Structure 1
Amino acid sequence: MTILINEEKIDFTLENEKTFTDVLSSVETWLNKAGMTTTRIKWNSSYIFPKDLSAVGGTPVSSIGMLEFSASPVTLKRSEELASLLDYLVKLKNAIIKFDKKILSELLPQFPDAEETLAAYLPDLAIEGKDNITEQLSRLLEGSTPEMIGLLKEKEKTTLESALSDAIGILGAVSSCLKANNGVLSSVSIDELEPVVARLGDVPVLLQTGKDSQAMEAIAKFSEMAQAFLDKAGNMFSTNPKGFSIDGKPFDEYSRSLNELLRELVGAFEKKDYILIGDLCEYEIQPRITKIIDKVKGSLSA
């Protein structure tokens, strides 16, 4: 059996997997530990959809041949789920306000699927002074038809519209956070980071001239921005980490080595080892982060 993840062959050691379903479960567990999730599966050149699993799930491992997985960061999948849910809720709210029977007849049968996703994100959430949002929507929309919506009393209709507005507002905020955490690097973020990186080169001089507070400020600013930059760069190259290497090392490995140096820098500050602080900033950390920036800039302009 051959397994590819994002077109990269992986060494997968069978343990207790006997069937197609067992293998899917094990691969998904492995991906989840790496912060990833399956987005698409291809088996011997044919895509497999959830509806197909009951028919092929019992296939023995010896008959599988090749399995190809497409995977993406969990946050990206959540972001896409939320975007779809928000789009649905906004359309539903507008259709209810306008009492558009045609749109309602299309949207209301989709509510059970939307309800499941909604419950996952807002399981016990209630606005102060109101009932649980998901429960309100379920009570008023489950099994509803356009005609039933038209028969709602004014108070019930107001409650429904209010619950939809609350859900849209809260989920919109969650979606914005996910997009920020999973954002694509831009030249603006790099332009903001580069002068902060350059400032690291001044740290030894600042320490030698007694300007400890300025040195600490420069390092604190760098640490904050560098971590956000590394997280976004990691997301950017997570679908094909082997395709992005520095000094012969995959991005993840190179990034970890930089994080280890940052931890060493914190330890040096605690010990007030100013010589080590200066050496780390000037000869270790600054050159490494500069190489990552150059690689990312090259990828963005490609």
Structure 2
Amino acid sequence: MEIFINGNKINFELENEKSAFDVINSIADFCSSSTPQQFVTGIYIDGVEFSFADEISLKKTLIKSITTLEMETTDIFGITTLSLNQIEKFISLITDIIEGSKWDSGFANIYDSMDWMKEGVDQIISIFGTEDNRLLNEKIMFVSAFDKLFKYFDKLSKDKYPFEPQTRKDALDLKNVMSQSITNLKNYLKESNKFFDYDTILENINKLICEVDEMIPKILNVSVLFQTGLDKESMDVIQRLASMLERCIGLFVIFKENFKLYLDKYTVKEVSFEEFFHTLTEHLKELMTSIENNDSVMVGDLLEYEFVPNLEQIKTILLKIKNEAFVKAN
């Protein structure tokens, strides 16, 4: 039996697997624990498509009868995009009903089939929700329009069809709001996926490593700038330092949440990265206070004894993560 994942032949050593169901579940478990996490979206046995949910048929299909097993997988962005595409198709079906003039007995059941769209959007927001509430606003817009449109289909029957002109207009307006929210979600995922791409992550790691090398001598010179009255120049360096630390924190969050890296093996000074960056943030506040108080001695001490060693630690950890989790993984 030959096994292909996304068109690439893989070497899969059989252990106790006896049926297609056993093999597919073993591969699915491997995919779900990989970095980034993958989800099975398609199964083909000797050219015939099977559903992942068709457990009975897959169990009946024994390994010895299979010549080729092909599987398609995608990451969390891909599976979410597929869900959004399904919602778009269902909205298109609803649009046909709203604009139509000929009754179909199946229309009466559409009401019972609509709720999954709202549940799907809610699930997506719970996965990709952001602190700026950008996606939460999309959810609010979608759910509000959905709940109003839902009522038009509550008691849809042959004697109430087709829709009255004003009802049709109102329903289409609500449908447009829902469609726009789905489009906005897809655009957000498209932009986010670029940032979570391996090559982009490597590029960001390399940039931060170079910035650390450039920043350290500038940091050591800040106290001199400060003492000689070059406040603007010294503040420019501090602002760049703060910006760099913010991007480092964001990158480490992505390592943990999106690439599922086990960060305990990449501890900084024997503490978690959360604790490490929290301490650095507190030092940054102390630094700003020292500058406001014109305390050049404290400014110099913080930069030399806190920030420089910690930046060197960040560089070391980034290099280790890059080499072990990204370069070797590829």
- When the two structures are superposed, what TM-score results if normalisation uses the length of structure 2? 0.54
Residue pair 1:200, 1:286 contacting (<8 A) in 2 also: no
- When the two structures are superposed, what TM-score results if normalisation uses the length of structure 1? 0.57
Aligned residues: 267
Q: Is 1:285 the equivalent of 2:296?
A: no
Structure-2 residue corresponding to 1:244: none
Change (3 A) 1:161 1:111: same
Offset at residue 59 of structure 1 (A)? 1.8
Aligned runs of 1:1-302 on 2, under 5 Å? 4-6=4-6, 7-11=9-13, 13-14=15-16, 19-25=19-25, 27-34=27-34, 35-43=37-45, 45-50=46-51, 53=54, 56-59=57-60, 61=62, 63=64, 65=66, 67-86=69-88, 89=91, 92-93=94-95, 95=96, 99=99, 115=114, 117-122=116-121, 132=147, 135-136=150-151, 138-139=153-154, 149-150=161-162, 152-154=163-165, 156-183=167-194, 198-209=210-221, 210=223, 213-214=238-239, 216-223=241-248, 226=251, 263=273, 266=277, 269=280, 273-280=306-313, 285=318
Partner Cα distance (1:196, 1:29) in 2: 34
Offset at residue 163 of structure 1 (A)? 3.6
Partner Cα distance (1:130, 1:52) in 2: 32
Residue pair 2:43, 2:52 contacting (<8 A) in 1 also: no
For residues 185-229 of structure 1, give each alpha carbon's deviation from its aligned partner in whole angstroms, at most 9, with x where no partner exists: 699999998766532222321332346834631532441564698
User: Which ranges in structure 2 are unaligned for 5 or more consecutive residues?
Assistant: 124-138, 224-233, 284-304
- Look up the equivalent residue of 1:118 and give its one-letter code: M
Partner Cα distance (2:186, 2:24) in 1: 28
Residue pair 1:86, 1:168 contacting (<8 A) in 2 also: yes
For residues 10-60 of structure 1, give each alpha carbon's deviation from its aligned partner in whole angstroms, at most 9, with x where no partner exists: 45654xx764345444543553444321122232x3232339947733326
Residue pair 1:207, 1:215 contacting (<8 A) in 2 also: no
- Look up the equivalent residue of 2:193 and give its one-letter code: N
Structure-2 residue corresponding to 1:249: none
Partner Cα distance (1:224, 1:156) in 2: 51
User: Which ranges in structure 1 are unaligned for 5 or more consecutive residues?
Assistant: 235-251
CA RMSD of superposed structures (Å): 5.5
Structure-2 residue corresponding to 1:241: none
Residue pair 2:146, 2:178 contacting (<8 A) in 1 also: no
Offset at residue 82 of structure 1 (A)? 1.0
Percentage identity across aligned positions?
A: 11
Offset at residue 72 of structure 1 (A)? 0.8
Q: Which structure: larger Rg? A: 2
Residue pair 1:3, 1:12 contacting (<8 A) in 2 also: no
Partner Cα distance (1:188, 1:140) in 2: 51
Offset at residue 79 of structure 1 (A)? 0.8
For residues 116-158 of structure 1, give each alpha carbon's deviation from its aligned partner in whole angstroms, at most 9, with x where no partner exists: 65143257977698783574365266xx78x9642x3456435
